[in-house]
Structure 1
Amino acid sequence: MNVQEMIDNGRKAFAEISGYTQEQIDHLVYESAKIIYDNAVPLAKMAVEETELGCVEDKIEKNTGTAAVFWDYLKDKKSVGIINEIPEQGIIEVAHPVGIIAAITPATNPTVTPLGNFMHALKGKNAIIISPAPRAEKTSTNTVNLIREALEKNGAPADLIQIVAGATIEKSVELMEKCDLVLATGGPGLTKAAYSSGTPAYGVGPGNPPVILDRDYDLKTAAGMTVIAVGSDNGILCDGDNLLLYPQEVEAKFFEEMKNAGFVVYEDAKDVEKFRQALFHDGKVDGSLVGKDAFVIAKAAGFDIPVETKVLAVKIDGVGKDDIFGHEIMGPIVVMKSYDKFEEAVEMAVRNMKESGGIGHTAGLFSNNQEHIRYAGEKIPVARLLVNQPTPDAWGPATNGLSPAVSEGCGTWGNNILAGNVDYIHLINVSKIAMPLDVKVPDAASIFKK
C-alpha cells in the first residue's frame, strides 16, 4: 500500500468517528492501552531482539507504565465538543480534531512512542500513520497491529492507526507533506525535515542532560537516583543523565556512594582515555555500542567487569568542547566533573549543552536550596528541569506535574516550536466562542494622558 492510499484510508476512518462521543473515544483509548499492557512482555523481547538496543526488563516496565500512566492522565480530560466554559470571560472552548497525523518514530522506543502518540491523537478524534525506524519496523508493526485489533473488536475502524511498510526517507517525506500534522521524534535532521515539509509539525530535539548535585543533598540518595537515570533501558533514553556535576570536596564520599549504588567508577585518566577511544570515532559516538550492556562497553575499552553491572561512571576534567565526553552517549555510562561554586556548575551545564548538544531538552538538579533551584531554573535553557528525581521522569509519570508524553519538545533552543511535553491538547484545534461582555470600555485618552 502506498502513502496516498494510507492517507485516503485514514481520512475514511477519521470521518467514520466524527460523530463519536467523549465516552466512545475514551473507551477506545483505554482498550488501545490495555492491549499493549497485556502484551508488554513479548513486545519488549521483540524490541531488544530486533534492535539490539536496551534491555528487556526495562522495556517491559516502559510498555506497562506508559499504557497505565497515559490512560490515568487522559481518562478525565475533555477533548470532544465543548471542553471548557469561562462565564466571567464570556468564553466557550470547543475542540476540533486535526485530521491525519504523521508520527515518525525512533528505534529506541518502538512500542511506547507509537502507543503514546496514538493515545494522544485518538483522544482528539484523529487518525494517525506511523513511520517506523527501519531498525525497529517489526516491533512497531506488531504494536500497531495489536492496537488495530483492539479497535476492530470494539467496532471502530482499524485504519485510525496505520504503519508504513518498508519505511524510507522518501516515504516519510511524502507522508509528512500529505498529512495534517507531524510528530517527529528523533534527531535534528528529522526535525528540520518535518519543519520543511510544509505541514504544521512538532519536532523533538536531541537530549544530553546535565545534572547538578548541590552541597545540601544526600549523597546516597543522589547516587541511587542516578543509577535509575543512567541505567534505564541501557541509557538510550534521550532524557537520561549524561553529565553529572558534583562539589569538589565530596568527591571521595560521593564516588563511594556511587560504587555502593552499583556504579563501576573510573577515575584514572589513562582508564578514562580508554573509554574515550572506545566510545568515540571521528568525533561521533560508536553506534555499535549504543544501548549495549555496561560490561560490553567496558570490554570494548579493555576492562573485564561482572556481566550484571548496570552502570559505569568516568571522571573528566573538562566540559563542552574541552572533552568529547560532553556529547550524548546513549549508553549506561555517566561522565562526572567536579565544581567549586554552584554558579560554576550551572555555567558548565549550560556550556556543555551549547557546545556538545542537548540544549533545550532536560536538566536535573539534586538540591533542597530553593534559591539554587530557582537560579538554575532561570539560567539553564531547558524545557524541563527535574528536581530531586531521575531525569527520565521528564516524560511525565504520576510523581510529577508534567504531562505524560513520548515526545518532549525542546523549544526554540532546540529548534522546536514547543518547549514542553507534546500532549493531546496540542493535537486538537481549540476554537473560542466569544460572547459580548457587559463591561466599561477603557478610555484610551485617560490611560495615556500625560
Structure 2
Amino acid sequence: MLENKEPKCVVEKEIEGMIDNARIAQVEFEKWSQEDVDRVVKAIGKAVYGEGEKLARMAIEETGMGKYEDKINKNKGKSKAVWKQLSGIASRRIIKRNPEEELIEVAKPIGVIGAVTPVTNPSMTPIHNAMIALKGGNAIIFSPHPKAKNTGIETVNIMREALFKEGASKDLLQIVKEPSLLHTTKVMELCDASIATGGPAMVKAAYSSGKPSFGVGAGNVQCVLDRKIDYRESIDKVIAGRIYDNGILCTCEQTLIYPQEIKLSLIDILKEKGGYLIKEDEMPYFRKHLFPGGKINVELVGKSPSELGRIIDMTIPKDTKFIFVMIDEYGEKELFTKEKLCPVLSVIGYESWNDALNIAKTNLLFEGAGHSAVIHSNNTDHIEEFGIVLPISRLVVNQQGSSALGGSLNNGLNPTATLGCGSWGNNSLSENLWWHHLVNISRISYEIKDKEDLSDKEIWDLK
C-alpha cells in the first residue's frame, strides 16, 4: 500500500463515515429473510458474471499482470461456483437442529467486515468476499491495492447497482476510492472483523488491528508425480496450472517432483508442450534476476515468458508458454524452489517415495508451509501419506492446482479467494474462507433426558 498524502484526521473521518453508513445498512439487512438474502447474493454474483470480460480487460490494462482469457474465467468461474455452493444453505437465524444432542444453532452476523484485496485478483477477490459476507447478513468495506483500485471500484459499483435493483442498500458494499496504508489500517481498526488477502505485511497488520482477522500465508505448491500413472495426462494438468493467468495465483504449481527414471522423456514432453529449458550456463544469471536479493522480482510478477525475458535482458522465444529449470538441490539450498509468481516451473527428480515426500516437505518449510500441494497418483496409500506428512491445509489429487485448490465445481473444497494456511502460515484458519467464518453461532442447549447415565468406573473404562 502507498503512504497516504491526506491528513490523518481527514482519512479517519472518511473511514468513520463509511463505517457508520455500513452499520445502518447492515442493521436493516439483518432483518431480511433467508430467501431475500439469497436473492441479493445471487444478484451480485450474476452481475459480476455478466461483466466478466470488461473487468478482466480493466485488470490487464491497469496492472499489466496476467492473461485476459484467464481473468475472464476467474471472474465468471468464481462467481458461478460460489453461488452454486451457497445456494440452498441456511445462513440466517436457526441454521441447524440436532435432535440427538438437543442442540439448535443460530447464525448471527459479525457486522461490518473489512477486506483488503490484492493487485493480483482485483475483481475475483471482491466478488467472492462480498457474496460470503452478505450470505451471513454482513456489510463489507473493501480497501483495494492502489495499483488496481479502478478495477476494484468498478467491480464494487457493479455489485452496488445490483443491490439497488434488489431493494437493498448500496452501503452494504463500499470501497475506499483512494486507498493507502492509513486508509486500510483504519478500516481494519474500525470494522468488526477483517479479511486480509495480500502480502505478509498486510496480513500481519490485520492481525495487529485488535479485531478478528482472516489472513493468508505464502503459497508454494509442490506437485508430485507418482509412478504408474499416465504421465502425459498429468503433465498437461501441471503445465495448465503453471501458466494459468501467467502464474500469478498462489495456487499455481511451483515445483514438479518426478520419478528420476523418466527424466529424459519428461524434458522432451515439457519442451514439446511449449516449455523453454534454462541451460546450465544460464542458471546463475536467471536465478539472480528472478530472485534479486533472494526475493521474487516484482517486475516479473504475472508476465509472460517473452516479457520476462525482455525485462531481464534474456532471449526467450516469443511462442514459449512457460520456462522450466532442472534442479538437483532443494529447500534453502535452491532459490528456484520458492514461490514464483510468473510462468517458471522448477523440476526435480526423486529415487524413492520417501525422497519425494522429503523434497516436498523441505520446500514447503522453506516457503509456503500450511498452504497447498498437488499429487498425481493412483496409489491410495501414497495419496493419504502425502496428506498426513506434509504441512499443508489442502491437497488435491489428479487435478490442476491453480483452479482446484481454491475450490471448484468438481471438488468438495469451498470456492474461495482466501486460502488459510493454519498455524504454519501464522493464520487463524486452515481451510478455504467461507460464509460460516463470517458469522457468530449461538447454541441453544436442552437437557438430553434419555441419555445413558454412566458410573465413574464405566466412564474411565471407555476406550
Give the one of 158, 162, 165 matched to 2:177: 165
- State TM-score, norm by structure 2: 0.94
| Residue 279 (structure 2) pairs with residue 271 (structure 1) | no
Q: Is the 8 A contact 1:272 1:316 kept in 2?
A: no
Aligned residue in 1 for 2:222: 210
**C-alpha distance in structure 2 between counterparts of 1:346 and 1:449, whole Å:** 39
Give per-residue Cα distances to partners, 1:257-311, cap 9 Å, x unaligned.
2223332233x31133332132121111211111101112234455444434321
Alignment of 1:6-405 (within 5 A): 6-266=18-278, 268-300=279-311, 302-355=313-366, 357-392=367-402, 393-405=404-416
Runs of 4+ with deviation above 3 angstroms = 298-306, 445-450
TM-score (norm 1): 0.97
**How far apart are the structure 2 equivalents of 1:80 and 1:31?**
18
> Are 1:420 and 2:431 an aligned pair?
yes
Q: How has the CA–CA distance of structure 1 residues 82 and 250 changed in structure 2, closer, same or farther, with 3 Å as cutoff? A: same
Deviations 1:160-186 (A, max 9, x none): 010012111121111111111111111
Give 3-state SS (helix, strand or coil) of 1:207's partner: coil
Residues 241, 391 of structure 1: 8 Å contact kept: yes
CA distance in 1, matches of 2:312, 2:248: 19
Given that residues 36 and 146 in structure 1 are in contact (C-alpha distance below 8 angstroms), is that contact kept between their aligned partners in structure 2?
yes
| Deviates most, 232-241 or 431-440 | 431-440
The separation in 1 between residues aligned to 2:143 and 2:292, in whole angstroms, is 30
The amino acid of 2:225's aligned partner reads: L
Question: Percent identity at matched positions?
Answer: 40
> Which sits farther off after the overlay, 132-141 or 312-321?
312-321
- Of 413-422 and 217-226, more deviation after overlay is shown by 217-226
| 1:312 partner SS | strand
* 348 and 119 in structure 1: CA distance in 2 versus 1, 3 angstrom threshold: same
Structure 2 residues without counterparts, runs of 5 or longer? 1-12
Give the aligned residue type for 2:168.
Answer: A
SS at match of 1:129: strand
CA contact (8 A) 1:275 1:298 kept: no
Mapped to 1, the partners of 2:461 and 2:102 lie a distance apart of 30
Checking the alignment, whether the CA contact within 8 Å between 1:274 and 1:302 is kept in structure 2 is no
Number of matched pairs: 448
Gaps of 5+ in 1: none
